[in-house]
Chains A and B, each alone.
Chain A
Amino acid sequence: MTERDEGRRLTRRGLRISGLGLAGLAAVYLVALRYTPVERFQGLPQKIFYLHVPAAWSALLAFSLVGIAGALYLWLRDPRLDLFAESIAEAGLVFSCVMLTTGPLWGKPVWGTWWTWDARLTLTLMLFFLFLGYRVLRGAIQEPGERARFSAVVGILGMVLVPFVHLSVYLFRTLHPQPIVLKPSEPSLPWEMLRTLLLSVGVYTVLLIGFVTTRYGLGRAAEAEGERDVR
């Protein structure tokens, strides 16, 4: 099979996975609105939770993978790792946009403010800027080897920066709900809500895999046709 066919095959597979993810997203809407109880204090706006939190997790996952792929690239020098990092950074940028639009929509009715400089909000905004910087840097370098090395280093530095931003902003002040699922004691979320959240996290992960596979396949096909830039 030629490189181009391989790229096209991956693109088709990615589109199928994304389609599955979108169908799953419709199911999440149905389950969240129809089969999950309304939260007593926040009312209906709390439903955004099921879209907002998984988006944040996907963005954070994507960002960690950009850093890890960057480190592996500097070690193994396989151009496919660079293409993978590029693909996942683009998907991550999309998820951080979802996170940054659903967040204020939830914050306004519940906290009474669109935006606050709380630890996790600031962190996610920084993630968005790091993704954006990564994307812009890639666009500004012509030579593929140089582009791969430079963006790998930015990915690694950004991955290490994230915990520092979180720590310093957390100590600065915080208003966000305390962790309710991943915490040492038992999750304090009722089972019906946790079920919906986990479903949504699964669906978002499928979407992430679908987007990345599509983008990666497109990159491979474009590379085979001699035009590295699919932008």
Chain B
Amino acid sequence: MGDFLRAALAVAAKDIRVEHRSRTALVAAVAFAALVLVIFNFAREPAAVSREALAPSVLWITFSFAGVIALNRSFVVERENAALDGLLLAPVSRSAIFLGKYLANLVFVFTVEAVTLPLFVLFFGMDLTGSLPGIGLTAVLATAGFVAVGTVLAAMTVRTRFAELMLPLLLLPFLVPPVIGAVQVTARLLGGRPVSEIAGWLLILGLYDLVFVTLCLMVFPPLMDE
């Protein structure tokens, strides 16, 4: 178990180090998220729809779109110079490689979300004092599951033609449950509703994470067989 985790952390550290040195993808993803927020502001008819009514949806659409484009990056970097083959030849279990890639993707997507949230507060004039811990927890729960699925799907789509188009096509259906749950929770948190109203949704989000992270750990090794 110790070796397994060490291998996973080594893969994750490698990915984070690569990203930290160039920062290209991170800057691009954050800029993309900010632009989505801007577009959304103008996609709303100010007289008909209040900012407050649209805010939870805007936040989660932005997070999930940014997540999808961030996941594309994960295996594209491995494609150059056939780096993935080298990784697969390493004497570590394939599940550990998956876990490493998954953790690195989580760090990446969480970073994008953490930078986007203040922009959301700024652009949409939201007051998050009090609801911030709840929104943070929701972000973690809603992101953890779909990033696991996205990591597996990105490993596949990178080997196909039209990878950039294929990943959203396959991944977006998997965003339906997390987005529904996250929007419901966020709307209630922003409306100052009691915790009892959101507990059920948080449970569903947690269950989704548990099921899909486990399943992805199981299907990744046969996926990478040659």
A contact residues vs B (CB 8 Å cutoff):
74, 122, 126, 129-130, 132-133, 136-137, 140-141, 146, 149-150, 152-154, 156-158, 160-161, 164-165, 167-169, 171-172
Contacts and interface: CB of A to CB of B under 8 A. Distances in A.
Given A130-B173, A137-B160, A153-B156, A168 B204 contact: yes
A24 to B, nearest CB: 33
A172 to B, nearest CB: 6
B180 interface: yes
Interface of B: 149, 152-153, 156-157, 159-162, 166, 169-170, 172-174, 176-177, 180-181, 184, 200-201, 204, 208, 211-212, 215-216, 219, 222-223, 225
11 contacts: A126-B176, A129-B173, A132-B169, A153-B219, A154-B153, A157-B153, A164-B177, A168-B181, A169-B176, A171-B200, A172-B180
A149 B177 contact: no
A161 B211 CA distance: 10
A150 B159 CA distance: 10
A109 to B, nearest CB: 29
A161 B173 contact: yes
Nearest to B222: A74
A136 B176 contact: no
B176 A141 contact: no
Given A137-B160, A157-B212, 9 more contacts: A122-B176, A129-B173, A140-B162, A150-B159, A156-B219, A158-B173, A160-B212, A161-B174, A164-B211
B221 to A, nearest CB: 10
Contacts of B180: 168-169, 172
Contacts of A167: 177, 204
A213 B135 CA distance: 51
A137 B156 contact: yes
B211 A160 contact: yes
A140 B223 CA distance: 16
A172 B162 contact: no
A126 B173 contact: yes
A153 B166 contact: no
Contacts of A164: 177, 204, 208, 211
